[in-house]
Amino acid sequence: MTFKNLLYIIFMTLSTIALANSASEKKLPPCRDSPNCVSSQAEDVKHYIEPFKISDSPEKAWNALKKAIDNHSRMVITHETDGMLHAEATSLVFGFVDDINVILDTKTNLIHIRSSSRTGHSDFGVNRKRIEALRLQLQKAHVID
């Protein structure tokens, strides 16, 4: 084995370890100071919303969440990677776009979720209502508590 190959193996091993550690520490984007955002990882009361507590298998809960988003007429999943997704929700009247970020945490059996308006200051509680409506759908599917 050459020195070059040995260095390559060491580098790839360290990269894999770093990737595994970062995957377990996934974070949602933080909410801005405006009240038009809710997040299960927020540290303040006005932005905080409970994460979804998985009661079934994480895969079933994740698939049920994706189905709930896909079945909504004004929500679309725009990007998905392993255990993370981004969706956009468009308002009915003015066509404002809100961002929905979701992380599946299989270690703690939680789904962390964030919903935030892209523009404006107040959302009249729309983002919180959206997440609670998704929670209710997943509870009816018996995949979260």
User: DSSP for the chain?
Assistant: --HHHHHHHHHHHHHHHHHHHHHHT--PPPP-SSSSEEETT-SSTTTB-PPEEB-S-HHHHHHHHHHHHHHSTTEEEEEEETTEEEEEEE-TTT--EEEEEEEEETTTTEEEEEEEESSSS--TTHHHHHHHHHHHHHHHTTSB-
48-84 pLDDT tens trace: 999 999 998 999 999 999 999 999 989 999 999 989 9
Asked if the model's pLDDT at residue 5 lies above 60, the reply is no
pLDDT at 84: 97
Asked if the model's pLDDT at residue 91 lies above 70, the reply is yes
Residue 115 CB contacts under 8 Å (≥ 6 apart), including other chains: 37, 38, 39, 89, 98, 99, 100, 127, 128, 130, 131
Asked if the model's pLDDT at residue 27 lies above 60, the reply is yes
pLDDT at 114: 97
Distance CA(11)–CA(17), nearest Å, equals: 10
Domains detected in the chain? 29-140 (3.30.310.80)
Residue 97 CB contacts under 8 Å (≥ 6 apart), including other chains: 88, 89, 90, 91, 118
Distance CA(86)–CA(82), nearest Å, equals: 12
Asked if the model's pLDDT at residue 18 lies above 50, the reply is no
Q: What is the pTM for the complete model shown?
A: 0.79
95-141 pLDDT tens trace: 889 999 999 999 999 999 999 999 888 778 899 999 999 999 999 99
- On whether the CB atoms of residues 26 and 105 are closer than 8 A, the answer is yes
Residue 23 pLDDT class (50, 70, 90 cuts): very low
